[in-house]
Amino acid sequence: MNVHGEMILILDFGSQTTQLIARRIREQKVYCEIHPFSIPLGRIREMNPAGIVLSGGPCSVYDSGAPHSDPELLNLDIPILGICYGAQLMILQRGGQVEKAEKREFGKAELELLDTEGLFAGLEAGAARHQVWMSHGDRVEVVPEGFEATAVSAHSPYAALRHRQEPLVAVQFHPEVAHTLIGTDVLRNFIFGFCGCKPDWTMHSFIETTVAAVREKVGDRKVICALSGGVDSSVTAAMVHRAVGDQLTCIYVNNGLMRSGESESILKFFREKSKLNVIDVDATDFFLSDLDGVADPEEKRKRIGLGFIRIFEEEAAKIGDVSFLAQGTLYPDVIESVSFRGEAPIKSHHNVGGLPEVMRLDLIEPLRELFKDEVRELGLELGLPAEAIHRQPFPGPGLGIRIMGEITRERLTILRQADVIVLDEMKKHGWYRKVWQSFAVLLPIQTVGVMGDGRTYEHVIAIRCVDSRDAMTADWSRIPYDILGIISTRIINEVRGVNRVVYDISSKPPATIEWE
């Protein structure tokens, strides 16, 4: 049951921009959740959403095996907005016809509004043209009884529709993407006009509801928190500490895969600048021994995740009578680790996909519903210092997933030295806070080079810098060439065993931010 008051439910049909719908709705200070299209009607009734959004998707509605939600969803008397595939599915399930279009629409298109009511309230109609973003090869050809067009485009006679009596609306374009210039207006009209929501979901209200929920769940029992020093675990610790105080013990585990000097600086920070009770465990030998000879990225992630759980349970036994483990799982972790349409997950996150089926500790994940930028906002609301909040994300498995192939102490040393140079130069030139993440990756290949008139055959370092808001999508950062040149020169000159540096210019999707 949702504890955050009124909400919008988003049903995911496999679109790459489903998460953007959630971000745009939350920007309006309205809570929303993403669930698979196959969620049972009974569960939807329990959730009691103020409105429902049907996302886009890669399939055609008439394809064999195409994802179809329960047609009775449309009869729940709940406002429903269909987007692209979701719009076509709504029309099909109400008896209309959807067919392959003679001329497909991909990219920018001009929308002509037929009226300025409902979704288009407050916008100019008539001769005015509004830029929207289309991405479809099918189109609505015959509308069901009760529906009418509210907008057209050059190749879509039903670019937007509404039902005359029921709270059903549909758009062929994607209001969630930035290229749709009226997207925010459309979503606001649906959220506030159709659904009657109030903009009262804030980080302050989130703290109140979440602290109360954690306090009720924990009671007088003890909690341990997996503290990595990153933003997610730091905010988790602060949130749980506010809820249960001294019942919380934080455990920092050095898995041997941290960056140079990081363990020492993290422990110093929390012991000097927080009221948290922190104990530290050096498990370097345990993790490196367990990872010896392991090259598969999924296997590495899962072994690291299981290793953390084993150590946390051992430490909990020492503390005595511990019932809960708190960790900083975020919404993108959950989304990427869960299959919505039966395909394989993108990757297992160490604190989601790597958990054993049976744990002796119950989980507390107070940030499970939040995106990264929301976590940063939450941390500031909790009073954490900016230096802790504005750190770049660092993966739970650490450098283990930035070393392609087998992990050895020698390869860790090479990567640590290169990583120090990347971060040093990014900070020195004022780019550290401009990008989402910047880091080095050690590739599993060697290349020929020349140093001092002699032939070399040594390792390759890849530099990865990306821009993002919530890690669900990302674009490669346009770092000035002179900065990249300095980083490359320093790595080749200062890191023994490296003779080549490359820059990763792939975006997410299709790539992921981390290489493994």
What average pLDDT is seen over the chain?
A: 87
The reported pLDDT for the residue numbered 342 is: 39
CB 477 within 8 A of CB 437: no
Instruction: Yes or no: say if 162 and 82 are a contact pair by the CB < 8 Å rule.
Output: no
List 130, 174, 350, 459, catalytic entry = 174
Written as one string, the DSSP assignment of 309-366 is HHHHHHHHHHH-SEEEEE----HHHHHHHS-SSSSPPS---TTTTT--SS-SSEEE-T
pLDDT at 127: 60
What is the spatial distance between Cα 412 and Cα 403, in angstroms, rounded to a whole number? 8
Rounded distance, CA 478 to CA 465, Å? 8
Q: Is the pLDDT of residue 217 over 90?
A: yes
> Residue 37 has what pLDDT?
92
Spatial contact of 131 and 181, defined as CB atoms under 8 Å apart: yes
Reported confidence tier of residue 425, pLDDT bands at 50, 70, 90: very high
Residue 237 has pLDDT above 80, yes or no: yes
Rg of the chain on CA atoms, in Å: 25
**What is the separation of C-alpha 20 from the centre of its chain, rounded to a whole number of angstroms?**
10
Instruction: Tell me if 511 sits within 8 A of 18, measured CB to CB.
Output: no
Backbone angles phi, psi at 252, to 5 degrees: -100, 120
Instruction: Tally Cβ neighbours within 10 Å of residue 485.
Output: 11
| 134-143, 259-268, 498-507: least confidently modelled range | 134-143
183 pLDDT exceeds 60? yes
Model confidence over 350-403: pLDDT tens digits? 444 344 444 578 889 999 889 888 999 999 999 888 877 888 888 888 999 999
Token pair of 206 as six digits: 């989130």
Nearest to 171 by CA among 62, 104, 99, 90: 90
Q: Which residue has the higher pLDDT, 176 or 135?
A: 176
Report the alpha-carbon distance of residue 471 to residue 513 in Å, rounded: 8
**Where residue 214 falls among pLDDT bands split at 50, 70, 90?**
very high
3-state SS assignment for residue 60: coil
Residue 123 near residue 113, CB atoms below 8 Å: yes
| Closest to 217 in 3D by CA, of 101, 86, 117, 366 | 366
- 153-165: string of b/e by CB count within 10 Å (b at 16+)? bebbebbbbbbee
Judged against a pLDDT cut of 70, whether residue 108 lies above it is answered with: yes
Indicate whether 491 pLDDT > 90.
yes
- Please give the Cα distance from 234 to 269 (Å, whole number): 11
Given this model, what pLDDT does residue 103 score? Answer: 56
Beta pairing class for 51-54 and 7-12: parallel
Q: Is the peptide bond prior to 167 cis by the omega test (within 30 degrees of 0)?
A: no
Read off the pLDDT band of 61 (50, 70, 90): confident
Residue 346 is predicted with a pLDDT of 37
Predicted confidence (pLDDT) at residue 341 exceeds the cutoff of 80: no
Burial of 258 (0-12, 13-18, 19+ CB in 10 A): buried
Q: Is 4 a catalytic residue?
A: no
The DSSP secondary-structure symbol of 194 reads I
**Tens-digit pLDDT profile for residues 290-337:** 999 999 999 999 899 889 888 888 888 899 889 998 988 888 777 655
Cβ(327)–Cβ(365) below 8 Å: yes
- Decide if 459 is catalytic: no
- Token pair 């309205």 is found at 30
Which one from 32, 59, 84, 465 is the annotated catalytic residue? 84
pLDDT at residue 99, as a whole number: 75
> Structure tokens of 72?
């009775």
DSSP assignment of 392-422: PP--TTGGGGTB-S---HHHHHHHHHHHHHH
Q: How far apart, in whole angstroms, are the C-alpha atoms of residue 423 and residue 427? A: 6
The residue among 444 and 96 whose pLDDT is bigger is 444
In this prediction, residue 350 carries a pLDDT of: 43
C-alpha 507/C-alpha 36 separation (Å) is 25
CA distance 383 to 313: 30
Tokens of 445: 């290949």
Residue 446: count of CB within 10 angstroms of its CB? 15
How large is the greatest C-alpha to C-alpha distance in the chain, in angstroms? 81
Residue 163 falls in the annotated catalytic set: no
293 burial level (CB within 10 Å; 0-12, 13-18, 19+): exposed
Which of 105, 176, 262, 514 is flagged as catalytic?
176
Mean pLDDT lowest for which of 140-144, 212-216, 343-347, 492-496?
343-347
For the beta carbon of residue 356, count every other beta carbon within 10 angstroms. Answer: 12
Q: 153, 105 in Cβ contact below 8 A?
A: yes
| Cα 139 from Cα 84, distance rounded (Å) | 9
